[in-house]
């Protein structure tokens, strides 16, 4: 489009030269011809047009850079909102797993059973808070296929119950924050 405008203006200059009957002077040998005012204007116009094209290109590059920066910032802020609680969740999870281990015990003392019921209520509240924040437990059970993206094999064990490559024993739970694994489930895999 810019080139069309330049050509149109140059054609206009040529038309003006013809209408004003401006003819180039004959140059004798050894004589330097001084450019006419119209020729000077033509050269200046061409230089300004080229400079305008360069400035327009620089402007478009700056606009594109700005849009890319805004897009990167938006993506990063989405990731921070989505995964910002990862450190806190990964530090709370071991304590929650210890609570779960305590709850699995079956004491004979009724007073201790009451404490365990209170611990269970606390764990349920913590689980709900973590679920609201996007933290979920990775459901693993014996007999599932071993998946290195979700599970961490701590040992291979002989098993008649499960075939090779299947999870034989779940040692500890795994957790995800949205779609990101923050703690792999520790498992023992059948040989």
Sheet of 151-157, strands arranged across? 151-157, 185-190, 167-172
CA–CA dist 56, 62 (Å, integer): 10
Answer yes or no: are the C-beta atoms of 189 and 146 closer than 8 Å.
yes
Q: What is the mean pLDDT of residues 117-136?
A: 89
> Is 90 exceeded by the pLDDT of residue 57?
yes
Average pLDDT of the chain, as a whole number: 85
Tokens of 44: 């200046």
Q: Which of 70-74, 108-112, 147-151 has the weakest average pLDDT?
A: 108-112
CA–CA dist 78, 157 (Å, integer): 43
Q: What is the pLDDT of residue 109?
A: 82
Of 179, 175, 177, nearest to 96 by C-alpha is 175
Q: How far is CA 114 from the centre of its chain?
A: 48
> Is 80 exceeded by the pLDDT of residue 65?
yes
**CB-neighbour burial class of residue 73 (10 A; exposed 0-12, middle 13-18, buried 19+):** exposed
Q: Burial letters for 20-38: b for 16+ Cβ neighbours within 10 Å, e otherwise?
A: eeeeeeeeeeeeeeeeeee
CA–CA dist 32, 27 (Å, integer): 7
pLDDT band at 40 (very low <50, low <70, confident <90, very high): confident
């Amino acid at each position: 489009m810019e080139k069309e405008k330049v050509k149109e203006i140059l054609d206009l200059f040529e038309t003006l030269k013809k209408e004003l009957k401006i003819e180039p002077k004959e140059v004798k040998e050894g004589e330097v011809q001084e450019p006419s005012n119209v020729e000077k204007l033509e050269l200046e116009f061409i230089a300004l047009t080229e400079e305008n094209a360069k400035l327009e290109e620089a402007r478009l590059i700056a606009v594109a850079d700005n849009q890319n920066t805004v897009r990167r910032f938006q993506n990063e802020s989405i990731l921070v909102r989505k995964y910002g609680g990862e450190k806190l969740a990964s530090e709370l999870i071991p304590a929650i797993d210890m609570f779960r281990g305590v709850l699995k015990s079956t004491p004979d003392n009724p007073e201790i059973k009451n404490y365990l019921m209170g611990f269970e209520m606390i764990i349920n509240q913590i689980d709900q808070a973590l679920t609201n924040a996007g933290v979920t437990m990775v459901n693993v059970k014996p007999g599932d296929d071993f998946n290195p993206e979700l599970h961490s094999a701590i040992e291979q064990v002989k098993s008649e119950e499960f075939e090779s490559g299947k999870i034989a024993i779940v040692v500890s739970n795994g957790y995800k924050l949205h779609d990101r694994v923050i703690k792999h489930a520790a498992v023992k895999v059948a040989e």
